[in-house]
Structure formats: structure tokens, C-alpha cells
Structure 1
């Protein structure tokens, strides 16, 4: 059974969890965890605590550990935090076994300390760095358990998987369950994949189901794609089906998006699939889909996909062949949004040959979208239709362009 041992995955999980730790202890999840300077000493433990802080900031790990050991020996109000930072410094100096012993001392002497959660996370990091197995059941804190589970998935997935499955079915928060799914998704074992697919198929927790669908798209495999297709076909929830469409974008599954767009009976979901084809780079698929599109709404959705692809050729074909004025106008506006010399030349060419006033206004709007004041002025000078000329001047009047403003002055001086 092959399981990913990439330390980057563990680092990502630490980032996910680190934002929820107290600011005082986030240093143990960073490459350089420095502490703020302490105020002037007012108690016997304050002076060595301040010295330990200074040594940490200077990277003098052994000296820092010694100072925090002095603080712990005083059994004052800072003793528990001093034990934590002693363990932290020992870890930094490479003395991992001593650091683990210090964490055990912290647990024994201060079982109610608020530093136990941070110490648990540090322990997981220490054991993983030492190549030791981590037992999630030894930790009471859920987030520390999750760190331990990630370590265990890398070292002993057969042992970790049942614990993860129990974690997902427990009363843990949705956020922690989502992070558990992340741990599960990093494994390339068949058992882990099947568990992830089962959660993606489930109906009990829609939020967790959508997260599992998202994670299915992170590992490209025929089995995952097939599972996504089954979920899309069998689910009655529009939200779940949209989640599958989003997953298709993430896994670059354009063939599946095209099939969804062609076979979907729900108009809104069909347009969602069409729009995501554009986001997934499905230029050829969109062109193919346009040829069989019937409704104006679908054609407009395809035009939006052409915009996402900057597909001037696809839009040009729509402009030339569209029989519905609304579709033709939408494609003209889209050409303006795409921009470029090719689309500008086409808009100008069409304006010279077009007889329909509505389409001519759309062509003017397309040039306006491109901020093409120069060509709009030229059209205004040549336009013999008063209404069309007025529309040209109206568009030029709101453009923040020097040439357009000069033309406004020219009109006023006539």
C-alpha cells in the first residue's frame, strides 16, 4: 500500500490548524517562531523568563532551554509556559527526546494547563520528525488528534484509517471533519479513496459531502472521475450537482462538463455546466455545443464562455450565423469585451454593412466597450441617420478620452 509521505501535505495541515492556535504558540508551527520581549521583571521568575525569551529571539536554543528550566523549577505562575518553551528550544537544538520528556513533565505537573494543546501539537511534530509512530488516542484535544492522524496516515495507514472513519462519524465540528477529509485525500491507498467516495455519496452531511466532492477532484484518477459522474447522475440536490461541476473544472474534465451540458434537463444547471466549460478552457467543446443549442438563454451562456476563452473566432461565427437579434447583440457586446484588433475590425466591417438599427446600436456599444473613441468619431462624422449619429455622440460624451472631448468641443463650436 503506497501512501504519500510528502512533508508538504503535513505543512499544509499545520497551516490549516495553526490559524486557530493561540498567538503565543504559533511559533512552534513556523520556521522561525520568535517571542515578544517581556516587560521589566517584577517577580523572581520574570528575569530568567525574559532572558529565555531573548535567547529564543537570538536562536541560542540551549541557553534558552536552561533559562526556562530555571523558571519551571520555581513553580510559579509561568512554570507551565516555561516548560512548553523549554521543550520548544530543546527541539530547535536537536534534542528531541529531551523535548518529549519535557512535554511529559508538563502534562504530569500541570494537567489543566492551557499550554497542553500547544504541547500536543509540538509532540506530534517531534515524533514525526523522529520517525516515531503517533497514537491519536493519546491526545484529548481534537486538533492535536488530527495532526497525529496525519502522521499516522503517512507511517501506518491501515491503523489510521479506522480512526479517521470514526472521527468523521463522530460529533466533531464540520471544520475538523473537513480537515480530516483533507488528511484522507492525501493518501493514495485504495481504502482511503473508497472512504472519501463514500462520504462524497452520503446525504447525512451536505456540507461535508460537498467538501469530499471537492477533494475527489484533487487526485486525477479514472475511479474518482467515475465516482463524480455517478454522484451527478444520481443526486437530486442542485447544490451537490453544482459541486460536481466545480470539481470537473478543478480536474480539467471538459468531456464530462460537455456531457453534463448536453444531457442536463434543468435549465439553470445546464447553463452552470456551460459556464464552467469556459472556465475549464473548453473552447472546442463550447463551439460544438453552440451548434446544437436551441434556447436563447443557452446560447447566451455559451457566449459568456467564449468571453472567458477570448474566442474571437467563436464569437465571430455566432455574429455571422445568429438568427435571433438578442443572441447577435450579445455576441457583438462580447466581441467588444474580448477586445483586440481582430474583433475591432469585425465590428467596423459589420457596421458598414448592417441595416438593422438595433444591431447597429449594438455594434456602437461594442466599440464603446473597447474604448475605441477614434473609430466612433469617424463613424459619427460619416453617419447620415440623425438617430444613429445621436447614439454615437451620446456614447462619446461619457468617454474619458481626449479625442472624444475635442470632438464634443467641435460640435459645440459649429
Structure 2
């Protein structure tokens, strides 16, 4: 197992670090959305400005009169009335605020106006730092908060859809789907009620991996580097529902990342641009529940009755590296994720390495490992192709995957923040 991990890490590291010297694009404002006065649909009292992410400058660099920060105003607003006559509104900016913990990922700055404006054909907003990016709000053109946002990995995506083909020697290729969905049902402050589901299977009768899951849970996000989550109700099953588990899973996520930056410009026009994002996520978790159904007969139990309660320790770690605007691509992303499931009692395990036509069922309490290497070449924020390597097994049947390599298309994104 350690040998496999070393090979995967070295392969991924050398592939991506070899092109890590490419520089990113400059600062960009990609949209402006109006915020209206209470009870009005025409009087603009605030402007929601979005930087292209990830944002390398700190929130303090874009803030103005936000809390105790009495900085100089880095924002410029020019309003053009219906006749095209310009009017400078810098003095009408009461404050500009970005949230430090989320600014790098969502790029949102809220400009609050001292007086509402309504008689305009367009409003131009410019940030004076860096390369002075600007964006325009046009009246009659609906500007909305981005519904979807880019993400650098499957773990960070709320929607992940991957269709892949796996070449085979002496046989036709197999076609696989690997997808996951997370949706926030309700959010209040730092608390969220969420649902999720995932599918990992292929078109063969003896699919590997062969895992379907769904869950409903609670998440607490009170700190940038720590997240507590409990998927309190969920199911694990295979594609024919021959094995089925009820499962509850509390976990603690600890994350650390660093964005390397490059300096551009000279003198007073010097600014930073993103170059390489690296990070690691470590999860300490448990999975417990009941094996409700199993296609394999267990001693002293009726057929398909299952083997009862189970408990697993589930430590995992994910390392990732993202290079924005590399070559002609939007980004190149590399992820290596390792998960160990350590059963406290015997659970089913389908062994595929014995040369038999069908997997051989075993009932053991041995640790079950799963390793995923994923190299993505993203054409846009949301779509690209990927090369994926898998090794190990997943619940509920733990069908063993022996170094499976696949190539396919991927679509991934996360929910955008909505501001009313």
C-alpha cells in the first residue's frame, strides 16, 4: 500500500510541478449585481461586485470604512444617465466590505451607497489596485449572483459528473460513471442542513467499484480551517440493491492551504496574481449503522437478512494542487485522496484478485483502503477532461478495484452565494 501511495504521489507531483512555472492572468472583475432599497425595484442602494477567483489580494485591500478599517477608498464608480452623460459617484460610496474568510473563494465585495440611484443607463465600477480591473452594470440587463462557482476538486464540488472509459487487453473497453451531488437544504449563520448522494459504478455485471450512497446531515462552519459535519441518516447500496446498509457518519475536517503568488508590474503599480494553490484536507470520522440486506448467506442468519450492526473508523487525507490559467486551459488540477475504513466487526469483502469469473465473497474485519488519483485539464471553470487512477474498495460490498485507470470528461461546480 505504501509503495502504491509513493508511486501515485511522485507521478502526480512531477506531472504538475513541471508546468507550475506558468503565470496566471491579471485581476478581473467578472460581474456587478445591483442591490435595491427595501420595497423598491428601481432604486439601487448597493452594488455586489465579483472578482474572478481565486483572489490573491486580502479583503483588507478592497475594504473601505468596513468595521474599524478607515482606509482610503480604492473604488471608483461612474454613472451614465439615460442621455449618456457621466457622473462620478466616488463620494457616494459609504463603505466597501469583503469577508476575509471567504473572499479568496467567492470574490465578493459589497459596495454600499450613501444615497440610492435610479436614473442610469449603465454604471461602471473600477478597483484602483493592481491592473485596475472594471465591470459594468447595464440597466435592463439582469445581473445576478453567479449560481455556479468553480472548484479545484471533486471534494470541493457540490455537483461532480464524470463519465470515463477504461481500456482493456483482450476485451472491449468498459464505461463508468463517477458522480456526486451535494445540496444545501437550509442555512442559518454558520449552520447548514444538507443532503448528498454519490454513484460509482460501470457497465459490467461485476462492476468495480460498485457503490451508491445518499445521506442527510448537518454541517457547522465556524472556522476557516475546521468543519464539523454529521451525516446522521443515509444508505449505502450496490447497483442491484443486493447489499444495503443504513449508515450514520460524524466527521471532523481539518484543512490547510496556501496560494503561491507572483508579483507583476513595477513601482506603485505592483500587484500579485495567483500562481499555484496547494493544500491538504484531513478527516477524522466514524461510520456506524446496520447491514439491512446482503446477497450472500451468513451463518445463523436467513438469506439476504444481513449481518447486523457495524462500526468503522474512517480516517482520510486529500492533497491537491491547482494551477490557474496554465497553458491554454482554465486550470490544471491534481488531487490524491486516500481513505481507510477500519471495521470493528466482520463485514463483507468481494475479492477480485483470485482469477475467478466472479468476485469471491469474504467476511473479515481487515482494513479496507481506497486510493484515488485525479488529474484534470479544465477547458472552462466547469468542464474538462480527466485521467483517473483507483485502487482499493468502497462500501457496501467492498468490491476490490485493482489499479484501474480511466480517461473521460468531467463537469464540476459548487453552489454560488445568493445575496438578496
Higher helix share: 1
The TM-score normalised by the length of structure 1 is 0.25
Higher strand share: 2
The TM-score normalised by the length of structure 2 is 0.25
| Structure of greater relative contact order (alpha carbons < 8 Å, 6+ residues apart) | 2
Query: Rg larger in 1 or in 2?
Result: 1
